[in-house]
A and B are shown apart, each in its own frame.
Chain A
Amino acid sequence: MARRPEPGRLAQEAAALAGAVRGALGPRGGRALLVRPTGQALLTRDGRCLLEALSLEPPTARMMAACACSHRAATGDGAKTFVLLLAGLLHGLRAAAGGGLRRALRAFEARVLERAVARGLRGHLLSVLAGRRAEAGGLEALLEAYLGGRLGPGERRRLARLCCEYCRRCDPGAAAVPRPRVLRLLGRRFAELHAAVAGLPVESSRVLPGLVLRRDFAAYCPAGGELRAVLVTEPLRPPLSAPGGEFAVGSEGQYGASRRWVERRTEDVMKRLRSGNVKLLLSSVKQEEVVIYYAKLHGVSVVECLSSEEVALVREITGVAPYAPFGDNARGEIADAAAATFCRPLLLGSKRCAHIGFTGLRAFRPHCLLLCGPVDSVNEQHAAALQGAFTMLQQLFKTVDRREECKGEGESQNEASEVCSWHPSAARQQLVIENISCNGDHVSERQLKAHRDETETQIVDPGLQGSENPARVQTDSQIPSNPVSHAKEFSVATEGIGSSGGVQKPHAKGEQPSGVHESCKSDSLVDSQKNYSTAVRAARNANAVTACECLDVGKDLEETSCNIVPCKCEKSCVSIAQNYSSSLIEAGSVLPVGGYFEILLHYYIRYYAKQFQQSEVTFVSNVVADALLSIPKSLYRTTEQNSFTKFYLKAVDALRKNQPLPMNEKGLESVYCKYQLVISVLHCATELLSIDLIIGIKRPLKKIEDYDSEDDF
């Protein structure tokens, strides 16, 4: 059962998907009520949930939805926009097909898009991170715009303010936006860091200090002032007979004595806790009644049956290890106890919870976000939106590097004939380095990921390249480029300089191509072969854009600036030497919401496409530029007539006259996310158009990669 996909059919499928999500797009969109087979209702405006709920039949439509969802998982935003843009693009490309189109798409990305961003868009960007144009209230503007696409009109402002307050109180030391380490923690542990109450208005939502554990105290003894808390993961009452063991009773007296011994041991543990000023016992297991009884007698409050996530969170924010009452130092001091300022019951709705004021570790001050809403599904929607917002905010710290060639991944498998050579010595490799240095000191561990990228010589027209950058030195690398050698260079560079100012320095290092050359040559061929296997593996998952982050979890914000290591050393050093900055989009770049990004990109793509001679690239450029406009068109759909046209004409007029754009929106959006979206859509379209045969098979396909990449940060 095989059939050929037609571009016309692809465009129809994408248009149908776009029709399904369009109603939920943007600040004027509505929400969807998803009803599960169990009857459970879910309110959402999230594109990912909508696409998943549609349970699509056609394989190509499924692929589109999967691409949109994986983009959403990576950046926390943009599943609906993805579908709309893809639909616009496929509609424009429905007439053309074939290998030429694919090459044109790639050439467009490398030559036109990058130039449009570098020369046009860059000039309009604002920044929310501390820097030249730090925006006051940037965080709230970002959040309000983000939540505007996810929540109802009555709730978004309240939630944005609340989320701002939450961020500020969790990370009081941060400047405009919380530090990436805090954002990661919030995003990962938000399920435990918030509590939901149904039946109250959204207005009642608030931020509480400390942590709320959603279960009542098994024993509560009021204690004023500072207190200590220990974590246990095993029953505190020693068993008479261990699992698998046997306890032989020789006489009635012996049995009674053993029972008494067990109780005394339990009481001893409590006495020890009390003498160590421990007033709170957090247990991941259910403790026996006797334990609770002795805890009450000795003034120790107990919360039991904590989930593994809650235990992990408590360990993370307090840094304590579980206490082993019958371990080696059973008689000794209780060293590993967490400090808390209070511990009291809290009535959430009709449920009693344990509210514990942990003081927190390092810069993070634990706070709990109390979400209120008339129904549970509203609270779930709010929680999901806020969790997405934390993912989105993390993207602010990422940058996009400029590079000359781009190629959709996975193509090498489909068109092995087109690839000239598979040997790594003929291919240039791109390198993604994640530099994660922990705890503020410079002991860092590096993870190397090599991203292999083939060159296609027929696209990179030397003539064009010359016209673009006349001073460019064309040094084509014949030697095998070796990721390890670059990594060494880079590590030397960063360690020498320290982490501040890490943006520029590696490139300065790269400006000495001879040094790099030498190191490359000195490396053995065996080394490069070894790396080849990792490179191929990494190429599967790697993002097409060389997004390389150096997420520093140090103290000050400057350290968090991310950077890119130029991998094609010869060419990039030259281009960097000419241009002002290494990255295409800097960390913290934002634009006002409401279609500004799309209109700007549309304008500059048109502008730079005019300089091209190749008709196919010009065609693709026009298609992409028009497809981009479909997003603001949908955003302005429900307002009065012609408002989009008015807005568009005003903006383009201002651009022509080199005037500042008319701004009437307060919200901001991350340019990194938007640029990624365009790139992802281009790749998805290229991939879809590259399929020449759809084969139905009987057996289920084995899943190779992990679908949900959201959690492995």
Chain B
Amino acid sequence: MSRLEAKKPPLFISEPLTRDTVSQSLSLLSGILKSCYGPAGRLKHLHNGMGGYVCTTSQSSAILSHLSVSHPVLRVLMASVQNHISRFSDCGLFTAILCCSLIENFKSLNVASCTVIKISKHLLSLCMDYLKSEACGCRVSVDFSSVETLLCLVRSILTSKPACMLNKPEVDHLTMLILKAFMFTVPYCVETNAVLGKCVIVPVKGRRVVDSRVLPGLLIETPEIQLAEPLTVKRTCSNMIKIALFSVSMSGDLFNPEEGTIAVHHGISLEMSELNQLLNVGKQLINDEVGLVVCQKVMHPSLKQYLKENHVITVDRAGLSLVEPMSRMTGSKPIASIHSLSPGCYGSLKDVCIESFASKHFVHLIPNDTVVCSMILCNRNETAWDELKRICETAEHVLQLTIKEPLALLGGGCTETHLASYIRHKSYSLSTSSFKEIDCSQTQYQLVADGFCRSLESVACSLNHDDGEVLTDMFYGHCWFVPSGFSSVSNWSDVVSKCGCGINGNTENLKWRLLQGQFGCPIAQGCPKEPSVKVADFLTLDCFAAKCNGLQVALETANLILDLSYVIEDQN
């Protein structure tokens, strides 16, 4: 027992946030993440110095999963952002930058952390109420009957990830493909509990991005099938192809998971008995007019030969990941027994053909009802392909979230600045009873609200990676970027043409305010207005659900970290 006792006393740090090490590592992390943000973000090259896999990326999911931080406080922050990404795929950098910024801003206030937390919670509820209300000026509703808004949404996701190095035609091509793939997964007839289908991504590396394609149905890679051979499939009377899907091994091997022993008399071959049983199954499949047999595991060569002679196509080693979508697509039930076949297990297909891409051969299963599709995703090299795959998955996830809640937020920093000006306006018009309820003074509330707004604005500012200025207008509360080199212009209206999201043009006489480096902001500010033009092409849009969750998670995590009064680290 004595050997198990603690050797070193635990490290006890009280008030960890006041320590320099925490603020330094926090600002370092914040700097790394800010430099990645947005379409003009800088790429990060991750490697481990010993050779091997190298990752070039600007995505939060890749950076956070590879980065190792030593300080436990930062580990909490990273874990929180990673959890957000695993739920929503998008807005990871937004969450992380906002969280760092909130911690830095709140920490510098001379207000007790428990009061800060209460006030910021109130501010968050103001934001969430505003975002969810009809009057919200920074959101647009997504109309699924036209593709315009959806295309904007997908395009914004693609352009915000510069590590793929996509040019404009490639972006347009991929945007169309992703949207097409998503449309395939929406079930044709909608019941009460509609479940979206699945898009299976098939990797093809070494080809151009524009060679990517989307096909309805599934592709199963089969190296042995000869292209030259014409494919003749047995069809049923209704011109369908009957498919049997086996999840059990058909190799004829004996596997005995049981604990007892089996004594076999001399001269008896159990393998023979198994093979006979398999051939019986084959006979029944032929009798039942099955045209295609797919096995998740291995099939015995004799059985394959037997079925082939009877014009039944066989595909084995399909793998577990394809069984579920195939079962969904064909309506077949995976068969786990080679002793009894129920006719209810078979599914049906419209057609089967052979496709080949870049030296790979696939059996293409074409279903009647296309809830499952395959996307052949091409890119030039391994690293860029990985990045592209992550983007496609993100975009698919965002579309799924959007169909649940058909809303989108204005991107390009406009939501952040708009929310900030809304909160600034709101915090001045709050009644005294609300201060009493939060148990704080009006000055404290103003201080925290100002810190909150500055954090939001700093996220918008980090979209700008050159030394140009970032402005906000006093009417819509949108975000405007001044190209670098125009820092000493007297009238800002001369140098800006469009706001960050692209919804407002510089047509009216707008009043401007600099976002960076200015502390005292003008008090007289009305509630920010909704843009007059409702829909426009080439808007920058963000996923509503992901951004709302990111905002909430960032604030809660910041509060969590501000609330820490000790770190006790066991050093054994």
Contact = CB atoms under 8 A, between A and B. Distances in A.
B13 to A, nearest CB: 9
B334 interface: yes
Contacts of A152: 117, 559-560, 563
Contact of A201 (B10, B72, B552, B572): B552
Contacts of A251: 265, 268
Given A41-B72, A252-B270, A252-B273, A247 B262 contact: yes
Interface stretch (B78-86, B173-181, B509-517, B526-534): B78-86
Contacts of A296: 333
Interface stretch (A32-40, A385-393, A414-422, A476-484): A32-40
Contacts of B272: 252
A53 interface: yes
Interface string B257-286: 111111111001110110011000000000
B75 interface: yes
A350 B87 contact: yes
Contact of B72 (A35, A244, A290): A35
Interface in A633-682: 638
Contact of B76 (A54, A290, A350, A375): A375
B566 A297 contact: no
Interface in B389-424: none
A199 interface: yes
Nearest to A33: B567
A20 interface: yes
B344 interface: yes
A700 B258 contact: no
Interface stretch (B138-146, B200-208, B335-343, B447-455): B335-343
A241 B261 CA distance: 6
Interface residues of A, number: 71
Nearest to B569: A35
Interface stretch (B1-9, B371-379, B479-487): B1-9
Interface string A14-54: 00000010011001111111111101010100000010011
Contacts of B342: 297
Interface residues of B, number: 75
Nearest to B70: A39
B112 interface: yes
Contacts of B264: 249
B345 A297 contact: yes
Contacts of B197: none
A289 interface: yes
B16 interface: yes
A369 to B, nearest CB: 18
A30 B258 contact: no
Nearest to B344: A297
Nearest to B262: A247
A438 interface: no
Given A31-B565, A256-B273, A375-B80, A240 B553 contact: no
A267 interface: yes
B553 A57 contact: no
A222 B193 CA distance: 11
Q: Which of B2, B83, B272, B335 has the most CB of A within 10 A?
A: B83
B568 A50 contact: yes
A28 B549 contact: no
Interface string A254-277: 011001100110010000000000
B331 to A, nearest CB: 13
A154 B567 contact: no
Contacts of A134: none
Nearest to A294: B337
Nearest to B84: A199
A447 B340 CA distance: 59
B332 to A, nearest CB: 11
B32 interface: no
Contacts of B335: 293
Contacts of B557: 374-375
A251 B339 CA distance: 18
B83 A35 contact: no
A41 B260 contact: no
A377 B117 contact: no
Contacts of B549: 199-201
B83 A198 contact: yes
B556 A259 contact: no
B114 A28 contact: yes
B121 interface: yes
A203 interface: yes
A242 interface: yes
B258 A33 contact: no
B118 interface: yes
Contacts of A37: 570-572
A252 B563 CA distance: 73
B14 A23 contact: yes
Contacts of B571: 37
Contacts of A255: 268, 270, 273
A259 B342 CA distance: 17
A246 interface: yes
Contacts of B570: 34-37, 53, 55
Contact of B566 (A30, A222, A246, A288): A30
B263 A31 contact: no
A131 interface: no
A691 B117 CA distance: 46
Q: Which of A27, A256, A297, A374 has the most CB of B within 10 A?
A: A374
B113 interface: yes
A373 interface: yes
Contacts of B563: 30-31, 152-153
A162 to B, nearest CB: 15
A580 B264 CA distance: 86
Contacts of B340: 260, 263-264, 267
26 contacts: A29-B565, A31-B566, A32-B564, A33-B16, A53-B568, A152-B560, A153-B563, A199-B83, A199-B87, A199-B549, A201-B552, A246-B262, A247-B261, A248-B263, A251-B268, A252-B276, A255-B273, A256-B276, A256-B277, A260-B339, A263-B340, A290-B336, A297-B333, A375-B76, A376-B83, A377-B79
Given A36-B570, A55-B9, A247-B263, 13 more contacts: A20-B566, A24-B565, A30-B114, A30-B564, A32-B564, A34-B567, A37-B570, A152-B117, A200-B87, A289-B248, A290-B248, A376-B83, A638-B112
Interface of A: 20, 23-24, 27-37, 39, 41, 43, 50, 53-55, 57, 152-154, 198-203, 222, 239-252, 255-256, 259-260, 263-264, 267, 288-290, 292-294, 296-297, 349-350, 373-378, 638, 700
